Structures are given as C-alpha cells and as structure tokens.
Structure 1
C-alpha cells in the first residue's frame, strides 16, 4: 500500500493522523515500510497493524514513543505477546475519563456557556467567580468554556468537601503555568521551523513531555504523602 492508502485506512479510527505523522513514526523506528525502485514507500498489512497499535497506545494508554518502541521490539523478538494485544494503561489519577497524549495536542472544540458549565459541574455562580479569580478556570476570548473547565470545577468542588477553598489552590495554577512555560521553551524552536516534519515532531515532543510531566507530578505527590504519613 502507498502511504496515502495507509492514511485512508487509519483516519477512520484516528482522525488526527497525517502523512507527516506516519513519516515521523517511521523516522523514529516504529515502522519500516519497504521501498519501490523509485523510492516510494510500500506498506504491508503488518505495517498498518503496527501503526494502529502505536496510535492506540498513545491515545488510549498514554505511552511515550520510547516505551511503545520497546514493546514492539520485544514483540518482534517473541518475548512479549503480539503488539496487537492491548496492554494495561498507565495508572494515572484523574477525575472523569483518563487523559491520552492526544488530549494535550488540541482543544476538543466543544464550547459551553456559563449556564451549561454550572449545570454540568454542579457549582454555583459565586464558586465559579472564585475559580476564575484564582485562575483555575479561564473562559475563552468569546466567553465560552471548554470540557476541561467542567472537570476542573468538579475536582475543586470535591476538594471543598475537605475544607479546601479555591484560594488555597492558586499554587496549582502557578505550578501548571511554570510547567507549560518550560515545555514552551523546548518546543518553540521546532514550531518555528518551516519543515512540515518539524511541526509533527514538535507536536509529538510536547505531548510526550506533557505525559512525563503529569507522571512526575504524581510521583512527587505520592512521595510527599508517604512522608506526611510517616511511612
């Protein structure tokens, strides 16, 4: 199959996949298509299966490419089950559906009014005002909210049951902004390059770094909690 035919097969399940993304995965050693005498890529059904596994592992299991490649290499050597067999996702703490690496790449596009946000999150206007005051929720330029705002509001509402108020959570906002600033410094040079493959590389890097950032944050909190408990 040509790369265009592969793209057509994958897009039904992975709408965000592009030819640049497939080429990037090839450059990272996740798939190795053959070549015609003219130099055009030729993919087999097995190549498509590998690509499908890689994309699903990123989207559903939040795995970085390094880990996925290790799994595929091990599968090629016969030391683990076939790559097509789903593997357990990372054990990340979240409210609502577990995030995937793709969640870091783009907005879902769903827009909510203030009334819709209040209803879905189960909060009132005074609490929303506090969340906005301390930067925990931010409306878009048109005044609408996204799905993440609902999850944030629900999370804070649950925390208030333990005596934690939105004003106590300003440090969370500041910490997140610092993390985003660090990632921005790393990927901005890639985004400035005109090569289309560089854009795909930048997208991949920022997603993986975001995943690692969440994992590191979780581990540090766990370590701190153990110290609090004296264990």
Structure 2
C-alpha cells in the first residue's frame, strides 16, 4: 500500500498503460507481457489494488528503466541484473560487468538524442547502412535520432547478417503506418463518443495489444 508523504499526500501510482507511456519513447519494444515477465522473475514488484490491478510508483519506473537499459545496452542476462539490483537495494553501487568503469547508478541519466556519428559508433553500422534504413523509412530522415534507435539499428544489423536487409522491410514499415492509422482512428472515435479527448497513453496501450497479437501470429507461422 502506498505510504502517505509528509502533508498527507500519497505518491502517484501508475497503471501498466501509463508506465508504457512513460518508457516506450526509450524502449519501443516494451509491452505489457514483458512487464509481467519481469515481475514474474522478481525484478520488480508493483503494488496491487484490492481488485488485483498492478500499480507502479516512480521508483518502480526507474528500476524498470535500469533493467531495460542493462538488457539492451550491456546485454546482461536477467540473473546478473538481479544480482546488480540486490547490490543497489543494499545501498551499494556495483560496477556493471564489461563496462569499464561504469556503475549501475550512472545508467539512469536523462534520455537524450544521438547524432548520426554517435549512432554509428554505438552500433557499428556504416553510413551507407544507416542511409539504407532511412531510405526504407525504418529510421527518421533527421540530423539526430532518439536513443532507442540504437536498439533498432542493432536489430536491423542482425537481420542483415541473415540476408534480411532494410529494403526487404519496406512492407513492415507500411504495415506499421497502417496500424498507426488504425489506432489513431479508434482513439479518435472513442474520444468523440466519450466527449473527452483520448491521449497518447491509450494509443500506446492499443499499440501494445496489436504487438502481442502480431507476435502470436508470427510465432504460429514459424511453427
């Protein structure tokens, strides 16, 4: 149960949809199922309402940000992440394995954008490869890129190693744009019916549900 702060005001608690809205700019592949999985692994323990709904505090969000960053940028398995979290919970500041030297507490820096040169250094991608990804509409044609572009470019490079290049993924981009239009229409209709505008949080929650459905279809097709 949330403990009231001085002055009698309890800390803000957020739903899964609100957590996604806070984190998906930095972690585009984050879904409700992944949040539940991290909870099942004991890495984060949200509070529960009397009816069983999960509620997350700001501390939970920062913990999730740390876990997801350790996975994406340092490729650490959950067992190692759990050990780092235990050290942090004990009041220590452990050094991240393979980061010389970088402590876990420094990971929670504010999100930032990357220049194309920084993106190339972070991923090992060539200028030509980034150009191909931009031409295919998989990355924005811009001077700077959001930090989650690191994960996107890394995934594109792994796919290219197997012969799936950015030009092969144009259909994926078109499908994603159609899904965005579908979500925008659904949110607009619901907002019109309720008499109040629907926001980004609801759109992101619908996107997460679509991602769950798409992943299930893909897994079934792969047998």
> Which ranges of structure 1 fall in alignment gaps of 5 or more residues?
11-50, 77-81, 90-94, 98-107, 227-231
> Which ranges of structure 2 fall in alignment gaps of 5 or more residues?
24-29, 37-47, 65-70, 74-109
**Of 46, 69, 72, the match for 1:96:** 72
Which of 180-189 and 155-164 deviates more?
180-189
Structure-2 separation of matches of 1:83 and 1:190? 24
**Of 124, 131, 134, the match for 1:132:** 134
1:38-94, Cα deviation, whole Å (9 max, x unpaired): xxxxxxxxxxxxx35x35994488449xx9xxx745559xxxxx989x9xx9xxxxx
Structure-2 separation of matches of 1:152 and 1:115? 16
* Normalised TM-score (structure 1): 0.52
1:188 and 2:180 are equivalent in the alignment: no
Larger-Rg structure: 1
* Normalised TM-score (structure 2): 0.53
Structure-2 separation of matches of 1:73 and 1:224? 39
Aligned to 1:214: 211
Q: 1:165 to 1:192 in 2, by over 3 A?
A: same
Q: 1:203 to 1:133 in 2, by over 3 A?
A: closer
Q: CA deviation at 1:149?
A: 1.9
Aligned to 1:114: 116
Aligned length in residues: 150
1:170-192, Cα deviation, whole Å (9 max, x unpaired): 11111111111101111235668
Structure-2 separation of matches of 1:147 and 1:192? 34
Q: Secondary structure at the match of 1:112?
A: strand
1:156-180, Cα deviation, whole Å (9 max, x unpaired): 1011111111111111111111111
Contact 2:113–2:146 (8 Å) recurs in 1: yes
